């Protein structure tokens, strides 16, 4: 006997609706590209008309300036809408991966904790795995940068450069960078603050924006409450030029039982 619809699991029903919206992502992306192209052409045409009309037709020049302003505003609003939909798709992907993931994550083989973390990241992320297969040099251990008058070091850096269009104008494929540091067995909020500050200091020297900041620790000492709350509730905000990025600060613990513990549990990034 089938249960009536009124007693169906509401959480599953809501997630099914989100699935349908997420399936529209390719269509929405095509619509965004077409609309953005039209608006860019409109802005270029209005700019040309403005330059031509300034010499003889003041009324046309004013109208073209208004059209130019309207085009710029429309393009900025379109980018905001695209950013909102991108965030929705990323969140939906992370929730789906979390629902389907194994609750126990075993530590892969490796000589050092950092090497084992690198192997886990490649296994957990198809994007990282595919990139490292083609470009193994993208994985760097002990990456050191000169910043703020002193060297800043990360034990692990995985970097996929963004496109030239992104580097010049902030559009297109931004690529990704993963930064990881081996922290103390009992980290403090100051360690998390330092990780975020050092990531900001080197952001301009990377060819892609950081998408994950990881503080790796070994052992089984319980995290202090303030450190747990900081990691869960206070993401790092990194800036590069006029762009600002929200990045989770993760604490990954390699336990003595050969499993990982995550605070917070980040999936689907990159």
CATH classification at residue 243: 3.40.1350
**Residue where a domain terminates, one of 100, 131, 165:** 100
Render pLDDT for 215-226 as a digit per residue (tens, 0 to 9): 999 987 888 899
Residue predicted with more confidence, 189 or 126: 189
Question: Are 83 and 168 part of one and the same domain?
Answer: no
The chain-wide mean pLDDT, for the chain, equals 85
In a domain, 268, yes or no: no
**Residue where a domain terminates, one of 100, 133, 152:** 100
In a domain, 182, yes or no: yes
Residue predicted with more confidence, 88 or 11: 88
Residue predicted with more confidence, 228 or 21: 228
Q: Give the containing element (helix H, strand E) for 37.
A: helix 25-53
pLDDT at 6 over 50: no
How many folded domains does the chain comprise?
A: 2
- The owner of tokens 């037709």 is 57
Please state whether the predicted TM-score (pTM) of the whole model is above 0.95.
no
Question: Are 81 and 173 part of one and the same domain?
Answer: no
**Residue where a domain terminates, one of 77, 100, 123:** 100
Q: Which residues pair with 180 in a beta bridge?
A: 156, 214
In a domain, 21, yes or no: yes
Least confident of 24-28, 65-69, 106-110: 24-28
In a domain, 269, yes or no: no
Residue range of the domain that includes 183: 107-263
Q: What is the dihedral of CA 163, 167, 172, 175, to 10 degrees?
A: 60
Question: Are 242 and 200 part of one and the same domain?
Answer: yes
Query: pLDDT exceeding 90 applies to what percent of the chain?
Result: 44
- The owner of tokens 């000492």 is 221
């Amino acid at each position: 006997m089938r249960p009536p619809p009124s007693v169906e699991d509401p959480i599953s029903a809501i997630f099914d609706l989100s699935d349908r919206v997420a399936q529209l992502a390719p269509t929405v992306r095509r619509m965004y590209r077409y609309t953005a192209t039209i608006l860019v052409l409109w802005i270029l045409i209005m700019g040309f008309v403005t330059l031509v009309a300034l010499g003889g037709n003041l009324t046309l020049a004013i109208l073209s300036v208004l059209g130019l302003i309207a085009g710029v505003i429309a393009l900025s609003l379109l980018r905001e809408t695209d950013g909102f939909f991108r965030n929705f798709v990323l969140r939906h992907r992370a929730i789906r991966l979390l629902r389907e993931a194994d609750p126990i994550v075993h530590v892969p083989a490796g000589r050092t904790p950092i090497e084992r973390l690198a192997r886990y990241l490649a296994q957990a992320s198809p994007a990282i795995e595919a990139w490292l297969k083609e470009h193994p040099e993208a994985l760097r251990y002990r990456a050191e940068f000169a910043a703020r008058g002193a060297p800043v070091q990360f034990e692990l850096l995985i970097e996929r450069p963004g496109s030239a269009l992104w580097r010049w104008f902030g559009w297109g494929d931004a690529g990704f960078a993963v930064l990881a540091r081996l922290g103390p067995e009992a980290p403090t909020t100051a360690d998390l603050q330092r990780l975020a500050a050092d990531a900001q200091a080197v952001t301009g020297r990377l060819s892609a924006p950081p998408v994950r900041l990881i503080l790796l620790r070994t052992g089984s000492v319980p995290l202090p409450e303030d450190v747990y709350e900081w990691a869960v509730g206070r993401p790092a905000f990194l800036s590069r030029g006029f762009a600002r990025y929200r990045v989770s600060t993760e604490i990954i613990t390699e336990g003595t039982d050969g499993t990982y513990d995550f605070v917070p549990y980040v999936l689907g990034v990159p």
